[in-house]
Structure 1
Amino acid sequence: MQVLTSNQIQTVAFQWPAGFYSDGIHIGLRKAKKDFGWLFSKVPAAAAGTYTTNQFQAAPTKLTKMMINQDHQLQGLLLNSAIANSCTGKQGWKNALQEQQWLANKLAVDPSLIGVASTGLIGAQLPMALIKNGLPQLTPTKSDAVTYAVLTTDQHPKTISVQCELSGHLVTLTGFAKGSGMIHPKMATMLGFVTTDAQVDGAVLQTMLSDNVDSTFNQITVDGDTSTNDMVVTLANGLADNPSLTAGTTDYKIFNQALHLVLSSLAKQIAADGEGATKLVECNVTQAATLTDGQQVAKAIVGSNLVKAAIFGEDPNWGRIISTIGATDAELDIDHVDIAMNGIPLVADSLALPFDAAAVKATLGQTQVVIDVDLHAGGATGQAWGCDLTYNYVKINASYHT
């Protein structure tokens, strides 16, 4: 096994950390695709979570949040796609509790150690007979099958595994996520899960997760809609046997950097796989007055329908970008804003620069478009990710229910 030096964080082939197992199968919630799965640790794990701010929070999201908030511990998660179990009333809550109990029985653990995650159509009740019949079919594998079981309109799973060394102990972090449409997290239909064998206290893990979600998942947008089921959960079972992480230490900084890498990679993969998308759009803001201003401006730009449509059409219409900046309440020096697309300067001091329109159009044909904005208002930065707005987005969402 490769041993990394203390300052290395390395991306590796997909693998579960020590003590984690999963499975994903088809039970009939979707047509011929995996739609049901589980993820669990052989020992109770420290747990942290962030959740949708939508007021119609789904039953499984509420239940998992309640379990994690009790003592920041979980051991298993039951997951399904196709049906969100959202806006399903008392019956939906009973169904979520029943799923929790069934998985607790299967793992022979207390129900308080079990969470539930669902994604899919809002308003439909879960077919509990299919779920009850599916549970015995789940096996403890080390495969990536569960990453397929949570997909809805996604084209593919979003996954990443990284390794780092903490006080001489090799630690693995593996994450997967789903999300393609209804994405505008404020913690959409978005689920993210990160597992690690690092040893870290649950409250410490919660602080790390919340801080990193703010600059990763909360900085992506596909269509401006925040769903009822958004959730990011992180589990750390401690089986790497490293000394428990303490804020301010070198190990803490390395692990925090690794966690940020995992979350940012998953966030960008979601943005790139937006419904109907052909391009990942990244916006980098510099010299903002505050971090909040930088993040706000970056997310506003990647979330603008006019900007997104222009990028799909490979139209270097920077007027749509500067008008979006002006529509925010960020502090601006309106006479000194610079804009570039894919490294080509288009605006300096809020005035147009001469540029080769054909050359810019050609570079906008790439699968990644980077917009750089300098606000000349301070020393803070901001970053956000989105995608272009295509005809296929309308086609997908015009018939989602049917």
Structure 2
Amino acid sequence: MSGPSAAQGGAARGERGAGSRWVPGNDFDLLENGEEFFPRVFNAIRAAKREVWLETFILFEDKIGLQLHAAVLEAARRGVTVHMLVDGFGSPDLSDRFVGELVEAGVHFRIFDPGRQLFGQRLNVLRRMHRKIVVVDGERAFIGGINYSADHVADFGPEAKQDYSVEVRGPLVAQMHAFVQDAVVPLKQRRRLRQWKQNKAAADTPHAGPAQALFVTRDNHNHTNDIERHYRIALRSARKRVVIANAYFFPGYRFVRELRRAAQRGVDVRLILQGQPDMPIVKTAAGLLYDHLLRAGVRIYEYCDRPLHGKVALVDDEWSTVGSSNLDPLSLSLNLEANVIIRDAGFNRRLYERLAHLMEHSCKQVEPEPKGRWEGLRLVRSYCVFHLMRWFPTWAGWLPRHEPEISLVDEAALATEASQRPSGAQ
């Protein structure tokens, strides 16, 4: 189916981007893997009274996609206003029937940058809409790294992904609600009023828990490095421990520098990375950094049970983050991403317990390579990789850039596309 038409000291140092204001009174529930995430989201959609907003990078027409389809159809047919936004590259193969039933039921189904193909290959593979957000009735929200596909549940087999999301209640939901509404409005129309609307809505929402939080996004206009910047603020403030679990790890020079500095001043810095990667190049790229990090005292664990897809981290006893952003050039310099940053001791403790269990039962710790005849070669390799990373935000900016199109699918467009398809094509 193709488209038709930060840490506590950060604010004091002035390192706040637009929208990066701590919002008190929130409650976060950590959801691990599809077994915890999908039932909670589908039930929330079924219970919706007024509206549902859903953004996702991947929506597949498999058993999970069909369950989402059924929940959305049921909500739309009883009068709930439903808005769905999927990425044209990440969700390229939805059938006309799948989408048509949603549109016929009244769902506002949009495609981010629907891609044209050349010789069967999509050309617009950069600057994807990689966010995974759901907002229901402006009262509860979900955000994390889990897509709508069967490979996020254990019965998929050895390739099932290990991942995380959170359910959010409280004033931060109002900011997320305003954001997903604005996301489908042309850029020129949304810039001035967005922050005023988000802050006013958050102030009017009742408190639901003890957590302070930030909703932080990355785009290619005004917030090009907000997520990475909040990571670096937290790393600079770390005094006790840092645990980062991230699927695709190849951050820039400044990020690696803060990791090394934290470890060198005695912070227990641990990385959980892919040991059974879904793409072999992922492990190869991260492995280029191992020697440089291990020499500074960073501990590296490779998760070996199945592919790791999570994007979570914690610092000391309060700071945590969950979201869609990997720590690689695509997420940090090209894709559209969204994370929540949470300041709450209870949530931090729960996340740490989950990650500690992974490290103890499902990971292999990487040991430094002993000194030997290849010592000089390793040092040269580490030096070259490290300084290459210093410039990746710059060279990423040179890559093809265009203003993405968001296309609203309607019944007339579906009929036109079907009439243009060769006879017998599906």
Same topology, TM > 0.5: no
More helix per residue: 2
TM range (shorter): under 0.3
If the length of structure 1 is used for normalisation, what is the TM-score? 0.26
If the length of structure 2 is used for normalisation, what is the TM-score? 0.25
Higher relative contact order (CA 8 A, sep 6+): 2
